[in-house]
Amino acid sequence: MLQRFRPYLKYLKAERAPILAALFYALVYAASSGFGLPMLVKYVFPPIFDHDLESTMVYQIIAFIPLLFLLRAWSGYRNSYFTQLAGVRILEALRSDYFRKLQFLPLSFLQRQSTGDLISRGITDTSQLQTTMTVFANDGIKQPFNLIGALGALVWIAWDSEGALVVLACIVIIPLSVLPVRYVGRKIIKRAQALQGQIGSVTGVFSENLSAAREVRAFSLEQHETARFSKEASSLATAQMRIAKYALALTPAIEFISALGIALTLGLAYGSGLKLPTFISIVTALYMSYEPVKKLAAINSEVKRAQASLDRLDELLDEAIAIADPVDPVPVGRLKGDLRFDAVSFAYKADEQVLREITVSIPAGTVCALVGPSGAGKSTFANLVARFYEVGAGSVNIDGIDLRAMRLADLRRNIAIVSQEPVLFNETIYNNLLLGRPGATRAEVEQAARDAFAHDFIMSLEGGLGYDTVVGERGGRLSGGQKQRIALARAFLRNAPLLILDEATSALDTASEAFIQQALKKLVEGKTVLIIAHRFSTIRDATKILVFEQGRIVASGRHSELYAENALYKELYDGQSDTGSQKA
């Protein structure tokens, strides 16, 4: 079992001091508890009650007893504290590594996963590890030493007392306690994996429901969603009870085995003529032996659950980072924006080509629109420029440099993206703007907001906080047009030579669209721009239009040329027009 945790031993190195302190106090606890208490019963109590000692000595011994228990309590507390300290720090590091890995995994991996399950792994699975560490902190180190101390006391009493040697036979009962522990452990680990997966499903339903609150109400799905959640919650309860059925059976099983040991001890003691003090000290030592076994059994159950959680974390932590910085990157400053695709092919799945041998040049300063039916490859084309995905064949170059030869940070510093649905973080407007260029001054941030026609509405927001207004989760306190203008201001602040626009006005009202169209005219000046076009009315002024069909570029040119010469473009354009002749 320990082999399973070997990859995580690296986290222990930074916590050597508290771990060594925990080991020290565990030894003190074992000496004062597992070994000390039976010795107290065997050698201290009999002389007192046989009146073989002077009263002064008796009172000294009586005064020593609370000191022994104080030592036992203090060492147990310090052992738990230092183990807990090490455990909390280790889990902090593990959780941070998990989150850090998420930031660098390719979008293709994340899109294959359930968001709820990824959250569950980072929160619930690591919380299970926290619970295991807590249980382990309380008993994982001191109880094994306590067991050794109690067994040592048994051996000592048997050696030192006449007729007690036969009582060692009862020690053979102790290993029998391991049998239910092993059986339950095997059962729990399988069920723990199912439990953690089901927690991910429940989290997924929660996450999906809250992100689609408006749609749920619009389509009257309240009852449907409640039923869907109840079904998942019921499955979760079943998974939890499957574990509880076995985990809760451990203590009664071990207590029954303990009773067998005590009964055997009593029979042997009677047959060998043991004196009562010797018998009581042996029973005390036996009790001190079975108690650690019982607690270690509980730890074993928790470790099995932790192992299941680690299995789930391993799936992500061991996932290869397919898109990474090159070993020897080409130094890149501010790029000009000359973009070229050379025989580029790409597939999300091996047998489903999305782009097929794309070769095209887009000179710096070109406003290039990407048009075509849904699924033709437009968004994928733009995503390859930002290297969100890795090309399957061919190369994408900017200013003659293969994207794979650049550091990702250098490449993306030269790209600004304005999405159809801009994402704002639950921060102030100022901090959301500053993401465009973290080193920007206050004046530069406010000028970017003015360029995006956002400054006035920011200053007039309810509450009077202006740029210090917190926008809410995903910008929920702002309207669609306001969020879009914040996103544009972020792009102004970034001032990157390459700009990707995912139809930034397609979901806006007329007033908001007018503001944003004005802002866009200024934003695109002097930049290489890729416009993923959903509405053709926004692309007539593009200096270059690429027409996509089934992963290929089937035509390129200006609007007037394509409308006259390309049947697909004319069909797509007329499909969005009242009359094709009026808009041509």
DSSP state at residue 393: E
Q: What per-residue confidence (pLDDT) applies to 160? A: 67
pLDDT digits (tens, 9 = 90+) for 244-253: 776 666 667 7
pLDDT digits (tens, 9 = 90+) for 175-189: 666 666 666 666 776
Q: What per-residue confidence (pLDDT) applies to 9? A: 65
CB 312 within 8 A of CB 193: yes
DSSP state at residue 31: I
In this prediction, residues 47-67 reach a mean pLDDT of: 67
Higher pLDDT, 137 or 329: 329
Higher pLDDT, 60 or 568: 568
Domains and CATH numbers, the chain: 2-199+240-317 (1.20.1560.10)
pLDDT digits (tens, 9 = 90+) for 472-500: 877 888 888 888 888 889 989 998 999 99
Tell which residue, 230, 190, 198, 205, has the closest CA to residue 125: 198
Q: How far apart are CA 551 and CA 347, in angstroms?
A: 10
- In what order do the strands lie in the sheet containing 552-557? 415-418, 498-501, 528-532, 367-371, 544-549, 552-557
Q: How far apart are CA 17 and CA 26, in angstroms?
A: 14
Position of tokens 């989290």?
203
Cα dihedral angle (510, 512, 425, 229), rounded to 10 degrees? -20
Q: How far are the Cα atoms of 243, 274, 292, 298, 320 from residue 248, in angstroms, in the given order?
A: 8, 37, 17, 9, 40
Output the six-digit token pair for 105.
């995994």
Concatenating the DSSP letter of every residue in 400-457 gives TEEGGGS-HHHHHHTEEEE-SS----SSBHHHHHHTT-TT--HHHHHHHHHHTT-HHH
Q: How far are the Cα atoms of 1, 83, 131, 136, 252 from residue 140, in angstroms, in the given order?
A: 15, 9, 13, 4, 20
Q: How far apart are CA 381 and CA 385, in angstroms?
A: 7
pTM (2 decimals)? 0.69
In this prediction, residues 380-389 reach a mean pLDDT of: 91
CB 491 within 8 A of CB 419: no
**Average pLDDT taken over every residue of the chain:** 78
Q: How far apart are CA 48 and CA 45, in angstroms?
A: 5
Higher pLDDT, 60 or 560: 560
pLDDT digits (tens, 9 = 90+) for 400-423: 999 999 999 899 999 998 887 888
Cα dihedral angle (276, 282, 287, 288), rounded to 10 degrees? 130
Q: How far are the Cα atoms of 179, 528, 535 from residue 540, in angstroms, in the given order?
A: 78, 16, 10
- Farthest-apart Cα atoms in the chain, separation: 120
pLDDT digits (tens, 9 = 90+) for 544-560: 999 999 999 999 998 88
pLDDT digits (tens, 9 = 90+) for 221-233: 778 778 888 888 7
Does residue 583 register a pLDDT over 60? Answer: no
Q: Which of 316-325, 393-402, 524-533 has the lowest mean pLDDT?
A: 316-325
Q: Which of 238-247, 282-291, 413-422 has the lowest mean pLDDT?
A: 282-291
- In what order do the strands lie in the sheet containing 339-349? 352-362, 339-349, 393-398, 401-402
